[in-house]
Amino acid sequence: MIEITLIRHALAEINLADKDIIKGRCAESPLIKLGIEQARLLGDRFNLERKNFDIVYSSPLVRAYDTAKIVCPYIGYPLDRIILVDDLTEISFGDLDGKKWSDIPNDEIRKRELLGYDYVWPNGESKRDVAIRLSRWFNEELFSEENLRKAHNKKLEIAAFTHNYIINTLLRLILKTPQGSNIFDIENTSLTQINYDSSLVIHKVNDYSHLV
């Protein structure tokens, strides 16, 4: 059996930005004080639950990787074994990342409305591109022959520190629902768990009980 725990990063500066800001990768956005506390609370939870992840992946963006680096010591997972995966990064809005929605040129807005799911942000990517790269990571990395072999006689526990849209996209892929906007509220440091034992089962979504 393979147990996959998807963890949204802790609260970062970009999460508090004005709603008019296009919040894509914003790669260097750091965790704020509350976010650091959220990550510590998650670490406490994992410690109490005696979590013992065999593999920990993380988006290379600062807010995700820093969350992973705060949490992992609570369960004795070595920081140098965290695997950074570009496919787990937030959607790229390219040239418009961090800019204002109100500043998008009208012709770009019309193009986005026309193409929808296949609209590629200037020097960025489309939502379809995100789904393709996540499918690749899911099938080629998570369910590699090596991981399936390890999970044959024991439970293989995997954690992935990532982002809101990424978690939503993975859930849509599993549920086989039309891709597009987020369908689940995913709170900072919440847990979404997917189990595999001959078939994929979504065990929990957006569990943030450690913050309550």
Q: What is the pLDDT of residues 107-138, one digit of tens each?
A: 998 999 999 999 999 999 999 999 999 999 99
Count of all residues that appear for the chain in the document: 212
Residue 27 has pLDDT above 80, yes or no: no
What 3-state class would DSSP assign to 202? Answer: strand
Q: Which residues contact 195 (CB under 8 A, 6 or more apart)?
A: 1, 2, 3, 4, 201, 203
Q: Model pTM?
A: 0.95
Question: Rounded to whole angstroms, how far apart are CA atoms 70 and 123?
Answer: 32
**Tell me, what's the pLDDT at 182?**
80
Question: Rounded to whole angstroms, how far apart are CA atoms 75 and 68?
Answer: 11
Give per-residue pLDDT as tens, 70-87. 999 999 999 999 999 999
Half-sphere exposure (CA, 13 Å, Cβ side) for 169? Answer: 25
Which of 129, 55, 56 has the alpha carbon at shortest distance from 90?
Answer: 129
